[in-house]
Chain A
């Protein structure tokens, strides 16, 4: 008998475990989710469970070498309600169970999964095991659900990709780097896309075990023991540019107590060059030590300074966010604000490829 992989599944909430109530979707009763999973033959083999003499809380896939334990959060979260303290909770759970398991699966609502995925990516230091986020577009209790396949694919990652030591997202038969995804579709089963880094793997009937990392693996080499960073509630604003954006909004976005600003600009990272009030406000904020990072409103592509309007930024000290998504840049800002030891180090960290979240220019 080959050695079994043991995976911890943290069920944090989301559509995956929701039931319709009075025309609105709300979390099912406590324990209902796990009981239901145990009844689905693709997800749990009662026969193997008995044969392998597994414990009460262990589940086992009908084929392969993966057994898993589902831990349901006492208060299930709609992913819209996720906050930095919830990121910390997941981090602490991974840390506490790090040595006992071969991999971790986080069941999460799709709405803010991209934010949590990026937050975990930065906060898990010297990760040596796979952490897989997944969720579903249709609750597990409905027959057309995508939850069953998404969970199975996620749970199997540790077995399928034994060397994977990253935070990834498995969804709709694909595996992505977690810091690269965005929710791009509310209605399709293909909820996520990874606009600036190709899919790590396509989970077809025969899984192509050819993980593409566009970045050098040695960048992320582990240079110490596994550890976690915790997030404080950082004061970070999103300044989404629009034609004729009111001055007051720009000023509020960079005013104290904001410490970080995610500037979501036009096209290749452009801001109006004829709006001195904007550049002045940004420059003043930078003078006060506010960290301002520029990302694009475009789904795909990167900020650069080939246009006149983009060049201004280098001068006043706005940091290029390269091709980071909004969720990745937001989580990275939160991480950097707490872990950079000086303003210069913060700026440097923002522009550096820490965990594969951006493409070096």
Chain B
């Protein structure tokens, strides 16, 4: 209490520390849910924000008053952070998120880009990995942190993980002043957003980043173990801008033993323009199923973009096995160690931005934002 009493001005509280302004977009998800008739549904508009304002861990009312802040500004206790919460008028269950919702978030970031030092997106966990990857590609020359987070339990429940996840997310701009990436903060860890998959429905540790270690562990003393993976590739080449997604016809072709021919054909047939082939092990498909390779090759001829990723959580596709080598010949592009969500968002991005089929294939294999590991010949 004592230092708070002494804290009568900004300068005194944070000598030589710049105040950071963060915009928090509440898109929906479990954090904002309440139980109703045995089922979870979004809370009423404004309820979430009101609840946060009452929580002394999340908002310092005294400093808010001292700093003469406006009604819609909040102050993170003990940090040089002032944040604004924008609740989306219709809160989305993350299962309902589509391309237009990715665009909405990207547009909101663009519109507020100059006025804030960082952005926090509250999102349901179910499709958070897809949105995280989509934003990663859509935000070009990003110079500020964009942090996605959510929770496994609603903020209205006492055992909630929402409070700590949101606080950790808000603090990213302060803790990692040079971070200019789209990241995910969850359960005291920070990941590159394009690398995560939801692996657990029940644990507080909902996400894992199978092919790239966490960017940082947010322990009592934050290990600033920020890994600048491929920063050279992610260098900014101009001003911040966003890419908007069109509704893309992208199918996921998940291989199974004895997969019906009809399914393979439907997955690559018009109007599909992109296909995520989810193959066995190191990227293998049956070598004795000419119908599959024929269907893929025929689709490649029609310039359908087919990207091969693995069913394995961890690992990469390669062509060391006979069955894998077939794919290169057919014109299927290696997705390296991309996750399914990252590959899906990247195909949507590439279909919208590349100027030729060749460029699409090249972009898919390139490390655009740290989403894949460039393969080295061993």
Which A residues lie at the B interface, using CB under 8 A? 23-26, 78-87, 109-112, 115-116, 182-188, 233-238, 240, 242-246, 248-249, 252-253, 255, 257-258, 264-268, 270-275, 296-302, 305-309, 311, 326, 330
Contacts and interface: CB of A to CB of B under 8 A. Distances in A.
6 contacts: A24-B325, A184-B312, A240-B278, A248-B269, A252-B269, A296-B201
B93 A246 contact: no
Given A243-B98, A267-B201, A183 B312 contact: yes
A297 B201 CA distance: 10
B70 interface: no
Interface string B300-322: 00000000001111111001111
In the A-B complex, list the 9 residue pairs whose CB atoms are closest, starting with the nearest.
Answer: A186-B315, A301-B201, A252-B266, A111-B281, A267-B126, A111-B280, A266-B126, A80-B284, A270-B95
A249 to B, nearest CB: 5
B250 to A, nearest CB: 7
Interface of B: 38-41, 93-99, 101-102, 124-127, 130-131, 197-203, 247-252, 254, 256-260, 262-263, 266-267, 269, 271-272, 278-282, 284-289, 310-316, 319-323, 325, 340-341, 344
A329 B322 CA distance: 28
Given A267-B95, A308-B41, A80 B199 contact: no
Contact of A271 (B95, B286, B310, B322): B95
B316 A243 contact: no
Contacts of A182: 313
B199 A298 contact: yes
Contacts of B267: 249, 252
Nearest to A304: B201
Contacts of B271: 246, 248
B314 A266 contact: no
Given A238-B254, A307-B40, A301 B312 contact: no
Contact of B39 (A235, A243, A311): A311
Nearest to A301: B201
Contacts of B316: 186-187
Given A186-B315, A307-B93, A308-B93, A242 B344 contact: yes
B90 to A, nearest CB: 10
Given A242-B344, A253-B266, A236 B256 contact: yes
A24 B199 contact: no
Given A81-B286, A240-B252, A307-B95, 15 more contacts: A23-B320, A80-B279, A83-B257, A83-B258, A115-B256, A185-B314, A186-B314, A233-B260, A240-B254, A242-B130, A243-B344, A244-B98, A246-B250, A298-B198, A301-B202
Nearest to A82: B257
B95 A272 contact: yes
Contacts of B259: 238
Contacts of B39: 305-308, 311
B279 to A, nearest CB: 8
A333 B130 CA distance: 28
B94 A266 contact: yes
B187 to A, nearest CB: 14
A299 B199 contact: yes
A107 to B, nearest CB: 16
Nearest to B271: A248
Contacts of B319: 24
Contact of A111 (B41, B99, B284): B284
Nearest to B348: A244
A24 B323 CA distance: 10
Given A111-B284, A238-B254, A266 B344 contact: no
B157 to A, nearest CB: 13
A86 B284 CA distance: 18
A186 B93 contact: no
A137 to B, nearest CB: 10
Contacts of A86: 257
Contacts of B257: 82-84, 86-87, 112, 115-116, 330
